[in-house]
Amino acid sequence: MYEGWMFDTTPFRFRLHKHSQSVQIYPFDDIYAGILAHLLRIEPRHNEAFVFWSRSIGADEWKRGDVLAAHGYSPEKLLSDFPQLHQRRHQ
């Protein structure tokens, strides 16, 4: 449920757990976390290290750790980029 989210404070975690007991599980974790955040009146913020279809990502960004996850890779792009990234990462 917490992938892509960072919960900093202990009081928040306790409130989140309390509210999660009364909210039906939704199969998409982002949406479920968003529903809980809405109920708790917490404004979600986007983490720039999670890239959504919006731009291309250089291998150097992956290597430096500037990108944690990316969505929107076509199968062809994934097959072409992964060997380069994997090779650079293990040099």
Res 3: pLDDT: 44
Q: What is the pLDDT of residues 9-53, one digit of tens each?
A: 567 777 777 777 777 665 556 777 788 888 888 887 778 888 877
Instruction: Report whether 49 contacts 68 (CB < 8 A).
Output: yes
Res 50: pLDDT: 84
Q: In 10 A of CB 51, how many CB atoms? A: 19
Q: What is the pLDDT of residues 56-70, one digit of tens each?
A: 888 788 888 888 888
Q: What is the pTM of this model?
A: 0.46
